[in-house]
Amino acid sequence: MDVVVLFFLLGVAARLAGSDLRLPEALYEALSIYLLLAIGIKGGVELAGQPLATVGPQALAVVALGVLLPLVAFPVLRTVGRFNRYDAGALAAHYGSVSVVTFAVAVTFLAGRDLEYEPYFPVFVVLMEAPAIVVGIVLARAGEPGRRVAWGALAHEVLLGKSIVLLLGGLAIGWIAGPTGIVPVKALFSDLFKGVLAIFLLEMGLVAGGRAAEIRRYGAFLVAFGVAMPVVAAAIGIAFAAVMDLSAGGTLLLATLAASASYIAAPAALRIALPEANPGLSIAASLGVTFPFNITVGIPLYHRMAAWAGVPGGG
Amino acid sequence: MDVVVLFFLLGVAARLAGSDLRLPEALYEALSIYLLLAIGIKGGVELAGQPLATVGPQALAVVALGVLLPLVAFPVLRTVGRFNRYDAGALAAHYGSVSVVTFAVAVTFLAGRDLEYEPYFPVFVVLMEAPAIVVGIVLARAGEPGRRVAWGALAHEVLLGKSIVLLLGGLAIGWIAGPTGIVPVKALFSDLFKGVLAIFLLEMGLVAGGRAAEIRRYGAFLVAFGVAMPVVAAAIGIAFAAVMDLSAGGTLLLATLAASASYIAAPAALRIALPEANPGLSIAASLGVTFPFNITVGIPLYHRMAAWAGVPGGG
Amino acid sequence: MDVVVLFFLLGVAARLAGSDLRLPEALYEALSIYLLLAIGIKGGVELAGQPLATVGPQALAVVALGVLLPLVAFPVLRTVGRFNRYDAGALAAHYGSVSVVTFAVAVTFLAGRDLEYEPYFPVFVVLMEAPAIVVGIVLARAGEPGRRVAWGALAHEVLLGKSIVLLLGGLAIGWIAGPTGIVPVKALFSDLFKGVLAIFLLEMGLVAGGRAAEIRRYGAFLVAFGVAMPVVAAAIGIAFAAVMDLSAGGTLLLATLAASASYIAAPAALRIALPEANPGLSIAASLGVTFPFNITVGIPLYHRMAAWAGVPGGG
Amino acid sequence: MQTHAKKLLVVITEAALEKLLVRDLRRLGAHGYTVCDVRGGGERGERAADWEADRSIRVEVVGDEAVVAALVEHILATYCANYAVSMYVTDCGVMRPHKF
Amino acid sequence: MQTHAKKLLVVITEAALEKLLVRDLRRLGAHGYTVCDVRGGGERGERAADWEADRSIRVEVVGDEAVVAALVEHILATYCANYAVSMYVTDCGVMRPHKF
Amino acid sequence: MQTHAKKLLVVITEAALEKLLVRDLRRLGAHGYTVCDVRGGGERGERAADWEADRSIRVEVVGDEAVVAALVEHILATYCANYAVSMYVTDCGVMRPHKF
Ligand SMILES: Nc1ncnc2c1ncn2[C@@H]1O[C@H](COP(=O)(O)O)[C@@H](O)[C@H]1O
Ligand SMILES: Nc1ncnc2c1ncn2[C@@H]1O[C@H](COP(=O)(O)O)[C@@H](O)[C@H]1O
Ligand SMILES: Nc1ncnc2c1ncn2[C@@H]1O[C@H](COP(=O)(O)O)[C@@H](O)[C@H]1O
Ligand code: NA
Ligand code: NA
Ligand code: NA
């Protein structure tokens, strides 16, 4: 198990044991700003000299994946899960969107195994943030023709939110500075990346551990969905990756993005755009079930699944 | 003088000169979390491959040392210091427990002199946190058979407090990850350690400097106790080290742990378990007198004392 | 363009686009403490072995420059700008004092071009903080013989404020520790410097971008002053540098110090000592106009100006 | 000490509403407001502020009874169904009545 | 604006008591509470919040007079002897009386 | 619940005044005070706390009417002309009257 995952488990264990340990809010904020910038910068530096002809069609496929996933999740949530339209739409939005930290753990997983991936992947992270949120809201609001969605406010919330601004900003900085221009800030943004990720995961563990009671309250379906949905999504992601002709590493990353559920951008956007949905439900599922599942069991599993599916160089 | 100590002196000087400089609370919190984790991790990595047969008996001796020190301090505080039972018990608890930052400064002292020590020492730090707190409370409450101590709440406060959770958690992470597994997070937890310690010491200097008025109010006995107690404790620590057959570096570390007074775990625990004690008193002594004494004069002195006592390779 | 400046532009762009991105206040505080300490330490380490005979007269010249600049600015602000005496005095004080972050960007600029400078320059930064603030207050109060300035409180505010305490403290630590003693904390204070500066500039960009509306309100003169004053000041600084016989790098640094406007020490001091002045005005000019101008256009321009003036090795 | 009677409205709610509330209260005639970060618990469970979605704010508005009444009305109608909101009103006195 | 009379209790005390107070007030019938980090000074000296043991909190509870009275009683009896505690009570009006 | 009538003064102002205000209120007879970091907006524009000079504090003082009146007087005379200051006063009841 990668060392960064151990920090997550420490957080979960401390919280379940009843410890009051907490990281200051400002530290959490600072670390998340750092991680988003660092991921963006890394992608941006490598973006220089990439053939845009390849990236363009792949980008479209990635957006399509973001649109498809909530369409898969919503009917299951409505019929099997018996959720009302708002909660079903909100959950679908969370699961179609992505978790940047899960992505970072997958990148660390690849680095530990010397597997290559398309360096412009952070662009895909940006592209997959928003579409599922829009689809989830449309699905929830579909039965209410009277209600109009404040799309302007929503676009503002999502496109100018922390995640996209910092990822895109990092991409731009990396791209403009290039491999030599970036050198002065490498000691901070590159060498320390995994250590910072580790501390962030400790905090995530504390928060996830604190959701235990809530998860128990919401019941077995939510847990089942929180485990099954990512596996199904990963399979769909692997299929997309095959069509997009991604490398073995890229296949794992796309599977992970598909499998991951948002817990930063989506909650913030939906609280404003879909206030009828119970925010505790989505967070319990995405942060309390799916996130831990993905970083401990999921990522290695998707790596295997890619191999079974015949991706060369896969696990 | 080690460079990290200069940061402490800067903090004291700034505060005594009347500067309002303060580090944000969140930074203080973040740095202390980092230091505890980093110390734990370092110990954990080296724990792999240690013969438990040696560590076991040594661990018992360390707990015994933690029990003995408050028993030495309490009667002095009651008779010479004329403190009431609560304040005497609280002070005894603080001085029997340990200061992790003082320990870190002693480790830095050893590193600057290329002296080796038993790598599993962070385990001893964990073991010495709690016993003296329990003994101090028992001593204070001994004359009040009617009052029962909420031992459950106390155990929760101490064992699940920040210090022990992060030290133990770091030990576990380091131990599981091992020397190769830890590499990805070394740039953060190892290379930056002394720089972070330096900034933390700056903050400690500011806080210690801010206690000057209080120390003056509590009078000469408190200052005398704050200087004499650590020296006596260090001597006892050196005797224990000899029995435990510790290396020269380990002897200094045990002397320093004995000499150091807690200002994180003990104050938090005692505020709940012994509310009759004046918390300003213990903090003024441990943070305002003993901590500065230890990191400037004490550690080099204990190094000498070990040499006088015939520890091979000592100062 | 240096990579750190890109972070500033990202901040400005994000804010102008309407993003709510903000760095936690504690992070801003922590970074500014770090930068001041690191700049001081670097200067202090190199101070060892400098001939004080050279530094002494240069130091006097630097103080004279700090006194002169507000005397140049004040009449222009009163007559052309038609500001009342308080606002004119406050603006003059800001522009005569210095911006440590602008200085840091200029140092980064030199490093990128392998240009040498007098290593004791941080001493000059300290020396230029205060004089202009005093002169600006005297100018504003000159017409009110009835009002007495609380010089004691002012001295306390400026001399014991964050900037001077940390710069001087860093200088002292670097000087005492020397090149070898400082090694343990180098990984933090030296290797990470530019990365930390980058994040600080991101925050500065967010704040500067947030001043856009205010700048528009205060009108064209303020913008013109915010651009012209630094250029004039830089020219004066270059003249001083020639007299002081500074190196090419030192000439750029002195020009930059002259051109830079304070936005930490001066606002804090003037709010207490000159409360009649509108603090929004000075901040809009120094942070919203002059700071962005200096780090993007100004520093390269002053480098050219030095070359035109015949400084050997200039741009 | 001569004071002028005003009303103080305190609203404790989710941090996500800060921007919306400030816009609303300006529109409904409040001359100012003060916000503070808090944590707490109520009907809708604990809001421990340990996660972005769990942060709460406490908004304080001093104003004329009519302005405060309009604000209360608006908040009840707009936010109380779907958000964690607590509100209370007290009497207060101010020195410079034009300010509020 | 129709309001229902309640009492607001404000307790300013050491941060170490937060968990205990929250447990107590739930037990004594309060429907909710709000906590905010503060600093200050009083009888027991300055509490500048520059050190863990020096942090203070401000706890706000809106409730029926009986609940608030019970809480006040309990705090006076349990904490006031040994901890820095300040308390005051004011009248307040709420819109949804069942909530408090 | 037997309470003794006191006055609560709340002052919301620039963070730069904290030290001065604390000194003043001690001098004018207040037995204590509580400070909290806030943000807000009023006559003098938004104070978003995103920059050092933009930080605001909320100071709370419980005291006798005379002390509060003296404090109000002093603040009006000393700070209101040049600083962003909002103030209000409410009635409150305390349990231990000697404390305030
Ligand atoms: N009785 C109360 N007294 C003080 N604050 C309360 C009370 N009830 C709720 N709150 C605050 O209002 C927030 C939302 O309340 P609720 O909608 O009841 O969950 C809570 O998180 C508390 O911070
Ligand atoms: N008169 C007062 N007005 C406002 N807050 C007070 C007052 N007295 C005490 N406090 C607050 O209550 C805390 C504890 O008070 P004390 O027990 O008097 O030291 C102080 O640190 C202040 O934050
Ligand atoms: N009507 C109001 N209600 C609550 N707080 C206010 C009000 N007006 C002003 N404030 C606060 O007082 C500060 C200074 O107000 P002002 O002097 O009006 O700019 C503002 O930044 C707010 O935090
Ligand atoms: Na997904
Ligand atoms: Na000890
Ligand atoms: Na200048």
pLDDT at C206 over 60: yes
Exposed/middle/buried for residue F59 (C-beta within 10 Å: 0-12, 13-18, 19+): buried
| Model pLDDT, residue C193 | 96
Nearest to C270 by CA among C147, C167, C127, C138: C138
Q: pLDDT over 90 for what percent of chain B?
A: 83
E-F contacts at Cβ under 8 angstroms: 60
D90 to F88: CB separation less than 8 angstroms, yes or no: no
Nearest to C165 by CA among B203, B20, B197, F51: B20
Which two structure tokens, joined as six digits, stand for C117? 């400078």
The mean pLDDT value for B205-210 works out to 94
In whole angstroms, give the CA distance from residue C188 to residue C180.
15
Which two structure tokens, joined as six digits, stand for B304? 């000498």
pLDDT at C107 over 90: yes
Point out the ligand 3 atom lying closest to the alpha carbon of residue F44: 19
CB atoms within 10 A of CB B123: 22
A25 to D14: CB separation less than 8 angstroms, yes or no: no
Angle at which helix A248-259 crosses helix A52-79, to 10 degrees, equals 30
Pocket test for ligand 3, best of F9, F10, F12, F18 (most atoms within 8 A of CB): F12
Cα C238 to Cα B288, C98, C253, E43: the distances in Å are 49, 15, 9, 58
| Residue A156 vs residue A30, higher pLDDT | A30
pLDDT at B98 over 60: yes
Q: E9 CB under 6 A from ligand 2?
A: no
In whole angstroms, give the CA distance from residue C249 to residue B51.
58
Helix residue ranges, H only, E1-100: 18-27, 65-78
Chains that touch E (3 or more CB pairs under 8 A): B, D, F
CB atoms within 10 A of CB D90: 19
Banded pLDDT at C1 (limits 50, 70, 90): confident
B173 to A24: CB separation less than 8 angstroms, yes or no: no
For residue range A67-118, list pLDDT tens digits in order. Answer: 999 999 999 999 999 999 999 999 999 999 999 999 999 999 999 898 999 9
Average per-residue pLDDT in chain C?
Answer: 93
Q: Which of A210, A272, A280 is nearest residue D16 as measured by Cβ atoms? A: A272
DSSP 8-class letter at E98 = G
Point out the ligand 1 atom lying closest to the alpha carbon of residue D40: 23
For A220-247, give one letter per residue: b (16+ CB within 10 A) or e.
eebbebbbebbbbbbbbbbbbbeebebb
A160 to C3: CB separation less than 8 angstroms, yes or no: no
Please identify which residue in the block is written with the tokens 């830079």: C260
For C270-304, give one letter per residue: b (16+ CB within 10 A) or e.
bbbbbbbbbbbbbbbbbbbbbbbbbbbebbebbbe
What residues are paired with E13 via a beta bridge?
E57, E85
In whole angstroms, give the CA distance from residue B133 to residue B269.
8
| Model pLDDT, residue B73 | 98
For residue range C74-99, list pLDDT tens digits in order. Answer: 999 999 999 999 999 999 999 999 99
In whole angstroms, give the CA distance from residue C117 to residue C247.
6
DSSP calls for A70-100: HHHHHHHHHHTS---HHHHHHHHHHHHS--H
Residue type, C123: V
| Model pLDDT, residue C271 | 92
Pocket test for ligand 1, best of D9, D10, D11, D12 (most atoms within 8 A of CB): D12
- Chain A residue nearest residue B179, CA to CA: A3
Rounded to 10 degrees, the C-alpha dihedral C110/C114/C116/C119 comes to: 70
Q: pLDDT over 90 for what percent of chain C?
A: 83
Q: What is the pTM of this model?
A: 0.95
Q: D28 CB under 6 A from ligand 1?
A: no
- Nearest ligand (C-alpha, residue E17): 2
Banded pLDDT at E39 (limits 50, 70, 90): very high
Cα B240 to Cα B128, D24, D29, F78: the distances in Å are 13, 69, 74, 64
C280 to F16: CB separation less than 8 angstroms, yes or no: no
Q: Which of A30, A162, A184 is nearest residue C194 as measured by Cβ atoms? A: A184
Residues of B in contact with A6 (CB under 8 A): 172-173, 176-177
Identity of the highest mean pLDDT range in B109-113, C111-115, C253-257, F53-57: C253-257
- Residue B47 φ/ψ region, left for φ over 0, alpha for ψ in the -120 to 50 degree band, beta for the rest: alpha
pLDDT at C143 over 90: no
pLDDT at E54 over 90: no
In whole angstroms, give the CA distance from residue B138 to residue A156.
60
Average per-residue pLDDT in chain B?
Answer: 93
For A17-41, give one letter per residue: b (16+ CB within 10 A) or e.
eebbbbbbbbbbbbbbbbbbbbbbb
Point out the ligand 1 atom lying closest to the alpha carbon of residue E30: 1
Q: D12 CB under 6 A from ligand 1?
A: yes
Q: D3 CB under 6 A from ligand 3?
A: no
Pocket test for ligand 2, best of F33, F62, F65 (most atoms within 8 A of CB): F33
Banded pLDDT at B297 (limits 50, 70, 90): very high
Using the mean position of ligand 5's atoms as its centre, give its distance from the Cα of residue B284 in Å: 15
Q: E84 CB under 6 A from ligand 2?
A: yes
- Nearest ligand (C-alpha, residue C100): 6
Banded pLDDT at F61 (limits 50, 70, 90): very high
Q: Which of B22, B25, B283 is nearest residue E53 as measured by Cβ atoms? A: B283
Q: F37 CB under 6 A from ligand 3?
A: no
pLDDT at D45 over 90: no
CA neighbours closer than 13 Å in the CB half-sphere of residue E64: 10
DSSP 8-class letter at B223 = H
Assess contact for E5 and E93: CB atoms under 8 A: yes
Banded pLDDT at A247 (limits 50, 70, 90): very high
- Chain B residue nearest residue C192, CA to CA: B192
Chains F and A touch (3+ CB pairs under 8 A): no
Nearest to C292 by CA among C207, C193, C195, C199: C207
Residues of C in contact with A188 (CB under 8 A): 192, 194-196, 198-199
For residue range D50-69, list pLDDT tens digits in order. Answer: 777 789 999 999 999 999 99
Chains that touch F (3 or more CB pairs under 8 A): C, D, E
In whole angstroms, give the CA distance from residue C95 to residue C265.
12
Assess contact for B124 and B162: CB atoms under 8 A: no
| Model pLDDT, residue A313 | 55
Pocket test for ligand 2, best of E58, E75, E86, E88 (most atoms within 8 A of CB): E86
C25 to F49: CB separation less than 8 angstroms, yes or no: yes
A-B contacts at Cβ under 8 angstroms: 78
Banded pLDDT at E46 (limits 50, 70, 90): confident
What residues are paired with B215 via a beta bridge?
none
Q: What is the three-state SS of C291-307?
A: HHHHHHHHHHHHHHHHH
| Model pLDDT, residue B313 | 54
For residue range B2-12, list pLDDT tens digits in order. Answer: 999 999 999 99
pLDDT at B146 over 90: no
| Model pLDDT, residue B23 | 93
Helix residue ranges, H only, chain D: 18-27, 65-78
For residue range B100-137, list pLDDT tens digits in order. Answer: 999 999 999 999 898 999 989 999 999 999 999 999 99
Residues in chain D: 100
Assess contact for F82 and E79: CB atoms under 8 A: no
| Model pLDDT, residue C157 | 82
For residue range B14-35, list pLDDT tens digits in order. Answer: 999 999 999 999 999 999 999 9
Cα C152 to Cα A235, C156, C269: the distances in Å are 72, 6, 12
**Ligand 2: which residue has its CA nearest to atom 8?**
F32
Q: Which of A1, A3, A13 is nearest residue B182 as measured by Cβ atoms? A: A3
Banded pLDDT at C313 (limits 50, 70, 90): low
Long-range contacts of E68-72 (CB under 8 A, 24+ apart): E68/E7, E68/E8, E68/E9, E68/F1, E69/F1, E70/E28, E70/E29, E71/E9, E71/E24, E71/E25, E71/E28, E71/E30, E72/E9, E72/F1, E72/F95
The mean pLDDT value for C116-127 works out to 93
Exposed/middle/buried for residue A309 (C-beta within 10 Å: 0-12, 13-18, 19+): middle
Check CB contact of E9 with chain B, cutoff 8 Å: no
Q: Where are the domains of chain E?
A: 4-99
In whole angstroms, give the CA distance from residue B29 to residue B204.
12
Q: Where are the domains of chain C?
A: 24-308
Q: Which residues contact A203 (CB under 8 A, 6 or more apart)?
A: A11, A23, A27, A28, A31
Assess contact for A132 and A70: CB atoms under 8 A: yes
A54 phi and psi angles, rounded to 5 deg: -75, -45
Assess contact for A253 and A117: CB atoms under 8 A: yes
| Model pLDDT, residue C236 | 98
The mean pLDDT value for F63-70 works out to 97
In whole angstroms, give the CA distance from residue D81 to residue B204.
48
E13 phi and psi angles, rounded to 5 deg: -155, -175
The mean pLDDT value for A167-193 works out to 96
Q: Which of F45, F48, F82 is nearest residue C275 as measured by Cβ atoms? A: F82
| Model pLDDT, residue C158 | 83
The mean pLDDT value for C238-253 works out to 96
**Pick among 3.30.870.10, 3.30.70.120, 3.40.50.300, 3.40.190.100: CATH of E4-99:** 3.30.70.120
pLDDT at A147 over 80: no
Assess contact for C197 and B57: CB atoms under 8 A: no
| Model pLDDT, residue D49 | 72
Using alpha carbons only, how large is chain F's radius of gyration in Å? 14
Using the mean position of ligand 6's atoms as its centre, give its distance from the Cα of residue F60 in Å: 40
Point out the ligand 2 atom lying closest to the alpha carbon of residue F34: 23
Using the mean position of ligand 1's atoms as its centre, give its distance from the Cα of residue D80 in Å: 12
- Chain C residue nearest residue F18, CA to CA: C272
Question: % helix / strand / coil in chain B, to the nearest 5?
Answer: 80, 0, 20
Nearest to C273 by CA among C147, C126, C97, C167: C147
DSSP 8-class letter at C188 = I
- Please, what is the end-to-end C-alpha distance for chain D in angstroms? 18
Banded pLDDT at A49 (limits 50, 70, 90): confident
Banded pLDDT at A312 (limits 50, 70, 90): low
The mean pLDDT value for A292-305 works out to 97
**Pick among 3.30.70.260, 1.10.3720.10, 1.20.1530.20, 3.30.930.10: CATH of A24-308:** 1.20.1530.20
Provide ipTM, 2 decimals: 0.95
Q: D42 CB under 6 A from ligand 1?
A: yes
pLDDT at B154 over 90: no
In whole angstroms, give the CA distance from residue A59 to residue A53.
10
DSSP 8-class letter at C136 = H
Which two structure tokens, joined as six digits, stand for A165? 């601004």
- Nearest ligand (C-alpha, residue F63): 2
Residues of E in contact with F93 (CB under 8 A): 88-90
pLDDT at C10 over 80: yes
Q: E88 CB under 6 A from ligand 2?
A: no
DSSP calls for C40-98: HHHHHHHHTT--HHHHHHHHHHHHHHHHHHHHHHHHHHHHTS---HHHHHHHHHHHHS-
Q: E61 CB under 6 A from ligand 1?
A: yes
| Model pLDDT, residue E68 | 98
Using the mean position of ligand 4's atoms as its centre, give its distance from the Cα of residue A55 in Å: 20
The mean pLDDT value for D71-90 works out to 96
The mean pLDDT value for F49-58 works out to 85
